[in-house]
Amino acid sequence: MSKQGLDSLSIRVDSSLRKILLQIDRKKTRKKAMRALERKLLLIDEEHRSPYFLGLAIAHYLSQQYDQCLYYCEKLLSLAPFSIEGLWGSSLRVSIYRTLGMKRERFEAEGKHFMIMKKMALHSQDPGQREMAIEELRKQVDEGDLGKYFVERNQEAESFSSR
């Protein structure tokens, strides 16, 4: 994730959330941080919940509780799919499916991740977000299965049009 993406995320993060997120990293304080994030979710408005959902998803991922991590990623993506947090959540979903070897689910998650980045690149008002989404798209097409998929589809289309 680019520095600009992290900066835009940190603008919306208050100091108490920052303290909680720092506790997630250590195994000893992770459960305490997860409880604090869950308590905070009850107190804040729905439009400001996306960093808390992302924090919970990351905490569960680090604790290797992948089902809970996927749950919070889904909540995050339903709340704010075209935000920086949504992009991180969709990346986390792809990573979990890749780790667990779930090919169909991983391919669906990569497709959704690709669509989120595409919409961010085309419709974002923030040039930093737009630049970050384009870089992520380039990386995903170069490294992932989607790149091979699009190359194959492009070759099929070219061979069909030349007939």
Q: pLDDT per residue over 9-56, tens digit each?
A: 444 557 788 888 888 888 899 999 999 999 999 988 888 899 999 999
Number of domains in the chain: 1
Note down the domain range covering 9: 3-162
Q: pLDDT per residue over 58-102, tens digit each?
A: 999 999 999 999 999 999 999 988 888 888 898 899 889 888 888
Q: pLDDT value at position 138?
A: 81
Q: Which domain CATH number covers 115? A: 1.25.40.10
CA distance 61 to 131: 27
Which pTM value belongs to this model? 0.66
CA nearest neighbour of 83 among 104, 106, 59, 53 = 53
